[in-house]
């Protein structure tokens, strides 16, 4: 069964902390994505990666960076967390062989105090 | 940024009603159109991937049509049930060098009242 997992369901951090959100997929997918979801704003793409060590900015990359050292793992990094980064973060993966259908993880609810 | 619009934003219907929502997207560089269902406290799940003009897909009581020339897709739910309550998202994919990037609409929130 297809699976995307995220390291935490809930996370509480302080302003200025460095935050790592981890995502792992077991489907050997080439593409991986990080989104944030906020009420009234839908799913917004932060960064995506189409291969190991490759990354592309999405629509809202400011304040974030990513790392993809292995095909199955895609990390989202908040270098210095701020309160406006309080949100639900969703990871997804896809393959061009499946019309790029995306499979989502359960999400991480991040609160920055 | 691709402009994807979904309407209505939210919808309240009674159990047994049939309903439909719209997804509008730029018709140029079209590759595929995805529909997802997102239930509360769960992850978004794919409903349909539509690729051809005039395409129609069906899964149980839910069906979808696609018009790539004018840039819209309709999602229909026949005889809505409370378990259909969810946010329905559409997302076009331009293919090619977009590497599977989807641009999601804001979604239509459906609430089905028993």
pLDDT of B1 strictly over 70: no
Token duo for residue A28: 């050997």
Q: Which residues of B make CB contacts under 8 Å with A?
A: 1, 32, 34, 42-46, 49, 51, 89, 93, 95, 99-107
Give A5-64 pLDDT, tens digit per residue: 999 999 999 999 999 999 999 999 999 999 999 988 889 999 999 999 899 999 999 999
Distances (CA, A) of A52 to A15, A30, A38, A72, B81: 30, 8, 28, 9, 43
Give Cα separations from B32 to A4, A46, B2, B39 (angstroms): 23, 21, 14, 23
Residues of chain B in contact with residue A101, where contact means CB-CB under 8 angstroms, are: 34, 46, 49
Taking alpha carbons only, the member of B77, B72, B73 closest to residue B13 is B77
Question: Residue B95: its pLDDT value, please?
Answer: 65
Q: Note whether A46 contacts B: Cβ–Cβ < 8 A.
A: no
Say whether residue A59 is in contact with chain B using an 8 A CB cutoff.
yes
Q: What is the CA radius of gyration of chain A?
A: 13
Running DSSP on this structure, what letter comes out for residue A100? T
The mean per-residue pLDDT over the stretch B43-50 comes to: 92
How many residues comprise chain A?
Answer: 113
Residue-wise pLDDT for B55-86, tens only, equals 899 999 999 999 988 999 999 999 999 999 99
Nearest-CA distance B9 → chain A (Å): 9
Give dist(CA A76, CA A69) in Å, integer: 12
CA A18 from centroid of its chain's CA atoms = 15
pLDDT digits (tens, 9 = 90+) for A85-108: 999 999 999 987 777 889 999 999
Angle at B24 between CA B19 and CA B26, to 5 degrees: 165
């Amino acid at each position: 069964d297809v699976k995307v997992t995220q390291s935490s369901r809930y996370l509480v951090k302080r302003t200025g902390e460095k935050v790592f959100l981890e995502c792992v997929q077991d489907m050997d997918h080439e593409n991986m994505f990080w989104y944030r979801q906020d009420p009234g704003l839908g799913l917004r793409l932060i960064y995506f990666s189409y291969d190991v060590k490759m990354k592309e900015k999405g629509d809202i990359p400011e304040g974030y960076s990513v790392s993809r050292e292995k095909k199955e793992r895609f990390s989202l990094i908040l270098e210095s967390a701020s309160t406006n980064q309080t949100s639900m973060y969703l990871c997804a993966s896809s393959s061009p062989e499946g019309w790029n259908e995306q499979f989502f993880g359960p999400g991480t609810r991040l609160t920055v105090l | 940024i691709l402009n994807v619009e979904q309407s209505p934003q939210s919808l309240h219907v009674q159990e047994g009603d049939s309903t439909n929502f719209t997804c509008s997207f730029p018709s140029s560089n079209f590759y595929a159109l995805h529909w997802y269902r997102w239930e509360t406290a769960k992850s978004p799940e794919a409903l349909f991937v539509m690729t051809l003009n005039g395409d129609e897909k069906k899964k149980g009581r839910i069906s979808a049509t696609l018009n790539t020339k004018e840039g819209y897709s309709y999602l229909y739910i026949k005889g809505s049930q409370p378990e259909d309550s969810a946010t329905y998202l559409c997302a076009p994919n331009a293919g090619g060098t977009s590497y599977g990037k989807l641009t999601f609409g804001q979604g239509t929130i459906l609430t089905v009242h028993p």
